[in-house]
Copies of this chain bind each other. A is one copy, B any other.
Amino acid sequence: MIIRKMIKPVYAHCDIPCGIYETDSMRHAAETCLRMIEKIEALGELDSQDKWNNFVRMVDIKEKHAQRVKDEAYILWSDYFKPEHLTRFPQLHDVFWRLAKQASIVKQTVDKAACEQLLHNVTEADTLFTDSKK
């Protein structure tokens, strides 16, 4: 397709402004979500203003870090990975799509299993990233 051709030569320089890609940030963010869920569950009965205060704060921290997971995933997916990677890793789009969708689920629930699934998705993406550098 002509559009593709037109922009293809630029792809090679696509990483000029950053060039530093890593998956630590994504993993730390996902782990923070898990920690928040554990802490929310550990609050037990919400029988004081202090507990409610921290419930609200933990939900907010979970939300922001689940978004962080998404943001880091988007950077890898659209900035780091190039058409030549897609040829080598045809599962690329699917891996990142499911990862982003799972992060949404972690936002919408207080569910350790959902967050462990997210960590699993992060590992999948991380493996792809590591393999792409070989």
Interface residues of A (CB under 8 A from B): 3-4, 6-7, 10-11, 13-14, 16-20, 22, 24-25, 28, 31-32, 35, 39-41, 46, 49-50, 52-63, 70, 74, 77-79, 93-94, 97-98, 100-102, 104-105, 107-111, 114, 117, 120-121
| CB–CB B110/A53 < 8 A | yes
Contact of A110 among B4, B25, B50, B78 (CB under 8 A): B50
- Main DSSP-derived SS at the A contact region: helix
Known: A28-B22, A40-B49, A108-B13. A7 touches B101 (CB 8 A): yes
A101 cross-chain contacts in B, Cβ below 8 A: 7, 11, 14, 78-79
Contact check: which of B10, B56, B121 meets A105 at CB < 8 Å? Answer: B10
Determine if A78 and B107 form an interchain contact, defined as CB atoms under 8 angstroms apart.
Answer: no
A13 to B101, CA, bound (A): 11
